[in-house]
Structures are given as C-alpha cells and as structure tokens.
Amino acid sequence: MKNANVPILGFAAFSGTGKTTLLTQLIPLLQARNLRVGLIKHSHHNFEIDHPGKDSYRLRKAGASPIMMVSRYRRAIITEYPEAIEPRLFDQLAYFDVSRVDIILVEGFKREHFPKIELHRPSLNKPLLFPNDESIIAIARDAPLPSPVAIPQLDLNRPDNIAAFILDWFLNHEERRHMC
C-alpha cells in the first residue's frame, strides 16, 4: 500500500455520537505535540464543495472530472463517479498526499478493517461495535459500560487523555513498523 508508512487511526460510531466534535478537539492537541494531522471523512450524504455560479461548478457540470482547484492557500480535487458507489478507505488513500502528514485520522468507514477507536454513549441505546470488529483498539465512552471489556476504555469527555492514548499508540505503532 502506498500509504503504509503513515499510521491510520479511525473513529467509528453511530451517527450523533460526537465523532466530529471529538476530532475538532483532538486535532489541536495532537498538533501541539508536533504531529501533522491529516483527515479523511466519510459522508453518507451527497455533498457539494462548489456552488452554482462558480467557475468550478460550471466546468464540472460541463463534464470535466476530475477538477483540481488550486490557490496559494489550498487545493481541492473533485471527481465525479459515473455511478453511485460506496467509497472504500484504501481506494481513497491513493489520492491522499501523505508527504505532509504524520498520522491520518479517519472519521467513519466503520465497517472497514483498520485500527479504530470506537465512540460509545450508552444513553443512545446503540450496540457496541467492538465485539464484531477486531480492529477496534479502544472504546471512548461517556459512561461506564455494563460489562468489562478486554480493550482500553477512554473517557469520551477527556480529549486530552484520548490524545495521550493516540500518542502512545502512535509511538508503539512506529516501533512495531520498524520491527517488521
């Protein structure tokens, strides 16, 4: 895999659990520890990043795909799929520039196999994901779980502790990679 040298860590949960909120808290904490953080977010909704009246929108509607928009501040690539397909994480990683990141955080793609932290709020009455997903390395929860689990439990309301766990995982992941 092209991106094998960059650790990938996902955050998996049911909608409304707080994945985006947690990530907006974690990213600055990780950056404060000198990690360059990239992110891939899976959306179940159709979305537009350009809008009617904009040149990029007109060019895309004329049939250009992919379209790359570039300024001195950012770059965006829009690719139209010929038919609706469910994106796969590792297919999308091929388009991700890993030269400027130390870790890639992933929101979503909960059914795919890669290291993930599960977010769980017992009050939402949703089932735990980890019993059916061996790639979940920890659970961040906002209340005690009804029964003990064999993986680390993190306090969802303590992003600083979750960031420390990620840093520890990242360092151990680095050591494991160099041992192979």
Answer yes or no: do 79 and 30 share one domain: no
The model's pLDDT over 34-73, given as tens digits with 9 standing for 90+, comes to: 999 999 988 755 566 677 888 777 877 788 888 888 888 8
Token pair in block for residue 119: 């977010």
Token pair in block for residue 30: 């990780």
Answer yes or no: do 169 and 104 share one domain: yes
For 74, the domain range is 47-86
**120 lies in some domain:** yes
Answer yes or no: do 24 and 100 share one domain: yes
How far apart CA 58 and CA 125 sit, in angstroms, is 45
Backbone angles phi, psi at 173, to 5 degrees: -65, -45
Q: Considering just the CA atoms, what is the radius of gyration of the chain in Å?
A: 18
What is the reported pLDDT for 110? 86
What is the reported pLDDT for 5? 78
Q: What is the pTM of this model?
A: 0.84
Has residue 4 got a pLDDT over 90?
Answer: no
Answer yes or no: do 62 and 101 share one domain: no
Of 90, 95, 108, 86, nearest to 23 by C-alpha is: 108
CATH number of the domain to which 158 belongs: 3.40.50.300
What is the reported pLDDT for 177? 43
Q: Which H or E run contains 68?
A: strand 67-70
Tell me the average pLDDT across 115-143: 95
Answer yes or no: do 38 and 54 share one domain: no
Answer yes or no: do 52 and 131 share one domain: no
What is the reported pLDDT for 94? 86
The model's pLDDT over 140-179, given as tens digits with 9 standing for 90+, comes to: 999 998 888 899 999 999 999 999 999 998 777 665 444 3
Collapse the DSSP code of 38 into the 3-class scheme (helix H, G, I; strand E, B; otherwise coil) and give the result.
strand
Answer yes or no: do 61 and 150 share one domain: no
How far apart CA 152 and CA 137 sit, in angstroms, is 7
Of 125, 129, 104, 117, nearest to 155 by C-alpha is: 117
Of 104, 107, 84, 85, nearest to 94 by C-alpha is: 104
The model's pLDDT over 77-105, given as tens digits with 9 standing for 90+, comes to: 878 878 888 889 988 888 888 888 999 99
What is the reported pLDDT for 47? 61
